[in-house]
Amino acid sequence: MDQHRPTPLKTVIYEHIARIGKAAASPSRLELLDLLSQGARTVEALARQTGQSVATTSHHLQVLRRARLVEAQKTGLYVTYRLADPQVSDFFLHLRSLAESRLAEIEQVTRQYLEERRAMEAVRTDDLVRRVRAGEVTLIDVRPREEYLAAHIPGAISVPLGDLKKHLGDLPAARDIVAYCRGPYCVMALDAVDLLRRKGFRAHRLELGVPEWRAQGWRVDTGQDRHGGARP
More confident residue, 217 or 6: 217
Q: Which amino acid is at 132?
A: V
More confident residue, 190 or 231: 190
Torsion of the alpha carbons at 41, 164, 167 and 128, rounded to the nearest 10: 90
Strands 70-75 vs 176-180: parallel, antiparallel or unpaired: unpaired
Residue 130: what pLDDT? 84
Active site residues: 181
For CATH 1.10.10.10, the residue range(s) in the chain are 9-89
| Residues 65-87 pLDDT 10s | 999 999 999 999 999 999 999 99
For CATH 3.40.250.10, the residue range(s) in the chain are 114-215
Residue 165: what pLDDT? 96
Query: Using CA of residue 128, residue 131, residue 137, residue 142, what is the dihedral sign?
Result: positive
Q: Hey, what CATH class is 114-215 in? A: alpha beta
What is the average pLDDT score of the chain? Answer: 90
Q: 227: pLDDT confidence band, cut at 50, 70 and 90? A: very low
CA-closest candidate to residue 147, choices 6, 23, 18, 49: 49
Contacts 24+ apart (CB under 8 A), 23-27: 23/63, 23/64, 23/66, 23/67, 23/69, 24/67, 24/69, 24/91, 24/92, 24/95, 26/60, 26/63
More confident residue, 227 or 189: 189
Report the share of the chain in percent with pLDDT over 90: 74
Report the share of the chain in percent with pLDDT over 70: 91
Confirm if 83 and 69 have CB atoms less than 8 A apart: yes
Residue 123: what pLDDT? 63
Q: 116: pLDDT confidence band, cut at 50, 70 and 90? A: confident
The model carries a pTM of 0.87
Q: What are the start-end ranges of the H helices in 145-205?
A: 145-150, 161-164, 188-198
| Residues 171-183 pLDDT 10s | 999 999 999 999 9
CATH number of 9-89: 1.10.10.10
Residue 42 has pLDDT above 60, yes or no: yes
